[in-house]
């Protein structure tokens, strides 16, 4: 059984795959309480109806886009057992993208793309640091860039790791800080495209 906040079609708004049509499955529940959270509706488990795997798969297939990509996000999706869901999606030729805060280990199954968005000072599992395709770092001030540099230096990083920096709440100063950091370090700028066009 899965606790789900919402399932809908959308253009992926953040990170490396921004602009890609996908089906978003937002899991209910989170183990963090970030003051800047923009999905508070996904924080409290036990508030909505639980879904069976079969019903969830049917809903996903009903809302599948031509890209056949499902983005599993939250909240924190790794609070729930994703292995049966990911396996079932793969058997149907559907790719799984996962976004996690990195505080829990990854499921023992191949996932097509993992974006980890650390929320210091919470501790990240090295096992998911090693397999994440992308680190998406939220930025409010210049000190967040310095913190990211220390964070990266302290951990083993794959050579092809994507680093995306994202201004919190699309603040103009934070956006300028992210822009300058991308130019300096070769990172990617994540601008929450869904918010720029007025989507949730």
pTM of the predicted protein model? 0.90
Residue 105 has pLDDT above 60, yes or no: yes
Q: Which of 126, 130, 97 is nearest to 114 (CA)?
A: 97
Q: What is the 3-state secondary structure (H, E, C) of 148-196?
A: HHHHHHCCCCCCCCEEEEEEHHHCHHHHHHHHHHHHHHCCEECCCHHHH
> What is the arithmetic mean of pLDDT over 93-109?
94
pLDDT beyond 70 at 33: no
**What own/partner pairs with CB < 8 Å and gap ≥ 24 does 102-111 have?**
102/128, 102/129, 102/132, 103/31, 103/32, 103/76, 104/31, 104/76, 104/78, 104/79, 104/128, 105/78, 106/78, 106/131, 107/78, 107/81, 107/82, 107/83, 108/83, 109/82, 109/83, 110/86, 111/86
Which structural domain range is residue 18 located in? 2-196
What are the percentages of helix, strand and coil residues in the chain, rounded to 5?
A: 30, 25, 45
C-beta separation of 186 from 162 below 8 A: no
Q: What is the CATH number of the domain that holds 21?
A: 3.20.20.70
Band of pLDDT at residue 156, cut at 50, 70 and 90: confident
pLDDT tens for each residue of 77-91 = 999 999 999 999 999
Closest CA to 136 of 181, 106, 99: 99
pLDDT averaged over every residue in the chain: 89
Instruction: Give, to the nearest 10 degrees, the angle between helix 53-62 and helix 83-91.
Output: 50
Domain count, the chain: 1
> Quick check: 64 pLDDT over 80?
yes
Gyration radius of the chain over CA positions: 16
């Amino acid at each position: 059984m899965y606790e789900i906040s919402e399932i809908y079609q959308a253009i992926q708004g953040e990170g490396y795959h921004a602009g890609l049509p996908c089906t978003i499955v937002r899991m209910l529940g989170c183990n963090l309480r970030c003051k800047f959270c923009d999905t508070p509706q996904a924080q409290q488990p036990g508030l909505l109806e639980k879904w069976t795997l079969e019903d969830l798969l049917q809903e996903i297939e009903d809302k599948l886009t031509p890209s056949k990509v499902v983005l599993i996000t939250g909240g924190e999706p790794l609070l729930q057992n994703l292995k049966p869901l990911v396996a079932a999606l793969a058997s149907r030729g559907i790719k799984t993208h996962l976004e996690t805060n990195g505080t829990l280990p990854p499921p023992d199954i191949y996932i097509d793309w993992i974006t980890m968005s650390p929320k210091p000072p919470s501790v990240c599992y090295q096992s998911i640091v090693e397999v994440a395709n992308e680190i998406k770092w939220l930025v409010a001030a210049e000190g967040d860039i310095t913190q990211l540099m220390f964070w990266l230096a302290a951990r083993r990083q794959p050579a092809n790791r994507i680093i995306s920096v994202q201004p919190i709440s699309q603040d103009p100063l934070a956006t300028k800080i992210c822009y300058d950091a991308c130019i300096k370090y070769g990172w990617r700028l994540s601008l929450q495209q869904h918010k720029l066009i007025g989507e949730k």
